[in-house]
Amino acid sequence: MQTIVQISLDVTTIPEALETARLARRAGVDWLEAGTPLIIAEGMHGVRALREAFPGVPIVADLKTMDGGWLEAEMMARAGATHVVVMARAHPETIKAVVKAGRDHHLKVMGDNLATPDKVVAARMLEDLGCDYVIHHIGYDERRSLAASRLPAPSPLDELRAVVEAVRIPVQAVGGLSLEQAIRTPEYGAPLVVLGAPLTIDAEAFKAADGDIEQTLRIICERIHAYGEVGL
């Protein structure tokens, strides 16, 4: 598939989400993500505001669903989301329920392997249960805890090739990547590149980072799109 640039709107107010989304779209970002902080703060209203402002643009609702899968996915679909996120650590029946809601409401389902003991096995399970994409994810708290202990933090790049080779669906790598690392994930066979905290968002305060973000994003998008099609 063609490389895709997704920005995670990990902010807590609708005005800031819309401002950042407008900037991102001008810069060439393909998909918008209603990040978990925005969904916690604004719920469906945040997703609905993005849909009203950006008709036709794919919107990922990062619910990190753990239970009540069908209902949560349906709510986000009605608000205008095109993609929802379910956790691999959820019960398999929850994952199946989200997949069913995806079929019922024309949603794509992204399965997140965060905190699983074997991320390759989790990726295969997510594919087997019907997910459309795998998010290969190292968590924020996990990375911070290890850094505070002066221990080497794991990177999504550590197992990214193994995850990509284990499944036939597209993979996205998330969690502590530098800008350069994120830009190069298509070289590992992962065509979905997500940008967000701490790349283009201030991870400590969950607000837009300082600096000329639009020009930075434009350059990033050009580099990622230059990869063209990444085979699966």
Phi, psi of 204, rounded to the nearest 5 degrees: -75, -40
Q: Which of 35, 55, 54, 31 is nearest to 43 (CA)?
A: 35
> In angstroms, rounded to a whole number, what is the distance separating the alpha carbons of residues 87 and 91?
9
In the structure, what pLDDT confidence band is assigned to residue 211 with cuts at 50, 70 and 90? low
Residue pLDDT, tens place only, 171-204: 999 998 888 899 999 999 999 999 985 455 555 5
Q: What is the pLDDT of residue 199?
A: 53
Average pLDDT, rounded, for the chain: 92
Mean pLDDT value across residues 113-118? 97
Q: Which domains does the chain show, CATH number per domain? A: 4-225 (3.20.20.70)
Report, as an integer, the average pLDDT of 150-157: 84
- With a cut of 60, say whether residue 208 has pLDDT above it: no
CA distance 209 to 96: 37
- Straight-line distance from the first to the last Cα atom of the chain, in angstroms, rounded to the nearest whole number: 7
Please tell me the predicted confidence (pLDDT) of residue 44: 96
pLDDT band at 213 (very low <50, low <70, confident <90, very high): confident
pLDDT tens, residue by residue, 60-98: 999 999 999 999 999 999 999 999 999 999 999 999 999
DSSP one-letter code for 188: G
Tell which residue, 116, 137, 146, 126, has the closest CA to residue 185.
137
| pLDDT (0 to 100) of residue 198 | 44
pLDDT of residue 174: 95
Average pLDDT, integer, range 21-25? 94
pTM of the model: 0.93
Q: Read off the pLDDT band of 146 (50, 70, 90).
A: confident
The average pLDDT across 23-49 equals: 96
